[in-house]
Amino acid sequence: MSDVHTDLAGRTIILGVTGSIAAFKAADIISRLTEAGAKVYPVMTDGACRFIQPLTLQTLSRQPVSSDLWGEGEGWQPGHIELADQADLLLVAPATAHCIAQFANGLAPDLLTSIHLATPAPVMIAPAMNGKMLAHAATQANIETLRQRGYHFIEPDSGMLACGYEGDGKLASVERIVETVIGFFQNQSS
């Protein structure tokens, strides 16, 4: 990586964290993105909050963690619209099969999916799930739908999965996720 302190200076990234065992890696992702100069707003699903405490992400990002569509701010503009408008990138890492399906089908039952529908920012997805779930025809069709819409994917790694199986579906390394985000913005500005 080049100068990690300025690569993402001035960039606002919404980090969507979904209910995967890999949610704990969001802490490291936030640390690295903020070290690179980004302002990171964590948005957690209910499932993600079962794997990692919001306070961890709030402390590392120095931003409030959003997780409740119905507990939004005090201003007149809904919080999810305000966040959606500020974003230079919506990064979802880890992204479960459920989240990918909701995105592909335009569903918005929670804060993250509502922000997804409201943001004009590019979307980058780092899947993390059981290999059989990843290989399922429905998941592959949802991924293809999103690719056709111009979404960017950070392919999962192969290895030992939390479920005890070995195969595809492991969240990409934090280093690769951060390098991909930095590369994305460098390509945009050239």
Q: Which residues are catalytically annotated?
A: 163
Q: For the CA atoms of 180, 156, 92, 94, what is the dihedral angle to 10 degrees?
A: -130
Buried b (16+ CB within 10 A) or exposed e, 82-113: ebbeebbbbbbbbbbbbbbbbbbeeebebbbb
CA-nearest of 31, 53, 32 to 44 is: 53
Amino acid at 43: V
